[in-house]
Each structure stands twice: as structure tokens, then as C-alpha cells.
Amino acid sequence: MQRLKAFYLDNVRPKLLEEYKYRNMCKVPRILKVVINRGFDDSCQNSKILDSLSNEFKLLSGQKSSLRRSKNAISSFKIRKGMPIGMKVTLHGDKMYAFLDRLLNLVLPRIRDFQGLNNKSFDGCGNYSFSLYDQTIFPEVDSSKVMKLKGLDINIVTNSGNDQESLFFLKALGLPFK
């Protein structure tokens, strides 16, 4: 069992039960999935750069990413139909907890001048989103082999219905908020 999952089951869930007095265990907030997304600009149309970015994504997420292509042509953005515009990975289960554990304990402390995550990035339904602007802060990515610096967006999807419960839950889990 993953360390973060064991911490959730042993420490966080009883704290949530005590704080919010849930009658049903299914109502206790938990993380359903983590979605990692990365968008491209027009300089990433080279197949070598795409392969490099895909391999980096695989290293830091633990599974293969799916390439996202444009559905329509948009001339003002110089996008044709079918061009690659991003990639995403959806993590569930043990891979999700392993990624979050690495994110909390290895990646976020390596960010220079890190003051904490913004607590206003909730979507109103209890889901939290934030961005990292450099992929080289992950220990799995070798900075000498990086062809293009690209950030990534991380969405943490919870089953909590509101932002206050989700903020309390994510703080108890160990996310460093301002």
C-alpha cells in the first residue's frame, strides 16, 4: 500500500469524520483521480520534441500519455485540424498516490521561493488545480536531456461537494497552502 494512502486511511479520514460528522463512509472526501495536462505551442510540432516530451511525461507520471489533437482549424492561432496541441494522463489508484507522494515530498520543496499553493484555485465543486512551470524539478527528469522547457497543469479531483471541505482535506493530506 502506498505511504500517502496509508496516511489517508489512518490519520486523515478519522480527522475528517471527527470534524464534519459524516454518517456514511462514502461521504468522506477522498481523491478520485489526478489529471496531468500539458499544452503545446507551435514549436512542439517536431516529432523528436514530441517524443521527448512524451517520454518525460511517462517518467514523471508512471504511465503513457495520450496525445490530444485539435478538432477544428483556428487560423489566428495557426492551428490546423488534427495538429497535436497537448497531452494528458489520468492517474487512479496506487499510481495516483505514488505521484502525489512524490509531488508533496520531493517536487514542491525543490521549487525556488515556494511560498505555498494558492488556496483560491478550487472550482466550486471541491476540485483543485495548479500549474508547475518547469518539468526539471521532478527528480525523474534529467535536465541535460530536456529539449524544451514546458510546464504542466495538475488537477486533483475529489468527491467533496464544496471547497471548504476539500481545502481542509487537502491540508490534512499535506498540501502546503499559503
Q: Rounded to an integer, what distance in angstroms lies between the CA atom of residue 65 and that of residue 90? A: 8
Give the pLDDT confidence of 104-158 residue by residue, as tens digits.
Answer: 988 888 888 888 888 888 998 889 999 988 877 887 877 777 777 778 899 999 9
Mean pLDDT, residues 17-33: 89
Which residues fall within 8 angstroms of residue 156, CB to CB, at 6 or more apart?
A: 31, 34, 100, 127, 128, 129, 170
Q: What is the pLDDT, as a whole number, of residue 27?
A: 87
Give the pLDDT confidence of 55-102 residue by residue, as tens digits.
Answer: 888 888 889 988 888 888 887 877 788 888 889 999 999 999 999 999
- List the domain boundaries for the chain: 3-70+77-173
> What percentage of the chain exceeds 90 in pLDDT?
33
Give the pLDDT confidence of 108-118 residue by residue, as tens digits.
Answer: 888 888 888 88
| Candidate CATH numbers 3.50.50.60, 3.30.1440.10, 2.40.50.1040, 3.90.1150.10; the one for domain 3-70+77-173 | 3.30.1440.10
Q: Which residues pair with 88 in a beta bridge?
A: 37, 66
Of 95, 105, 91, 113, give the one whose Cα is nearest residue 173. 105
pLDDT confidence band for 42 (50 / 70 / 90)? low
Q: What is the pLDDT, as a whole number, of residue 47?
A: 77
pLDDT confidence band for 46 (50 / 70 / 90)? confident
Q: Rounded to an integer, what distance in angstroms lies between the CA atom of residue 67 and that of residue 86? A: 6
Q: Which has more confidence, 2 or 14?
A: 14
Q: Which residues pair with 39 in a beta bridge?
A: 86
